[in-house]
Amino acid sequence: MSLEQFKNRNVGTQNYVALDVGKAPKTPMDRFQQVITRTFNGELFVGLWVTMKAMLKALFANDMHTVKYPFEKLPISPRYRAIHDMLRLLESGNYRCIGCGLCEKICISNCITMDTRYDENQRKEVSEYTINFGRCIYCGYCAEVCPELAIVHGQRYETASEQRASYSLFDDMLTPIDKLNLQQEYDGFGAVTPNADENIKQTPLAY
């Protein structure tokens, strides 16, 4: 098609096809007949049959195209910033948090509260750690600044709550000790290398 044909604004020269939509109803009886004709046509039953066939497959053939939430969940990206998790050390099972307070200082929404103390071995430990998910904007600064990879964003994305004051305690985010083998590691400083088992050497005995 040439440029002159695009510039032609004379619509009278176009080849339009007129559709036969029938005559407009004039009487109430004509309107009623038009409604009945358009309602009970073949296309309606074709659509109903397609829906019925998909429903029968889902009920009896277990051919379902939907996800049975919350029993089934769609996979999400590992970089998705969801509810926080506190990780443990794989060797000893102790939590990785050293109580440095960097996550509390860098939090721009001021939703992280931390309190530390010294145990009987004069080791600094976290006595209280809470995150107000009602104020958290899931920016990920706390996970980026953590030098020990103790706090990361997990895979839980259900953040709905019946109350506005929604807090998460340290024990709720900490990896259960019986599920330590299922703990997902993240790449970064302090993370476990893929060949960590090969690099472990047996300490020689001096006696």
**102, 187: one domain:** yes
Condensed to tens digits (0 to 9), the pLDDT of residues 104-144 reads 999 999 999 999 998 888 878 888 898 988 888 999 899 88
**23, 111: one domain:** no
* Domain total of the chain: 2
**161, 122: one domain:** yes
**113, 157: one domain:** yes
Backbone angles phi, psi at 39, to 5 degrees: -80, -50
- The parent domain of residue 54 ranges over 19-66
* Any domain includes 74: no
Backbone angles phi, psi at 78, to 5 degrees: -65, -15
pLDDT at position 106:
94
Residue 117 sits in a domain whose CATH number is 3.30.70.3270
Joined together, the tokens standing for residue 102 give 């960097």
* Any domain includes 6: no
- Report how far residue 198's alpha carbon sits from residue 188's, in angstroms, rounded to the nearest whole number: 19
Please say if the pLDDT value at position 166 is more than 80: no
Backbone angles phi, psi at 146, to 5 degrees: -70, 120
pLDDT at position 20:
77
Mean pLDDT of the residues in the chain: 82
User: What confidence tier does 50 reach under pLDDT thresholds 50, 70, 90?
Assistant: very high
* Any domain includes 7: no
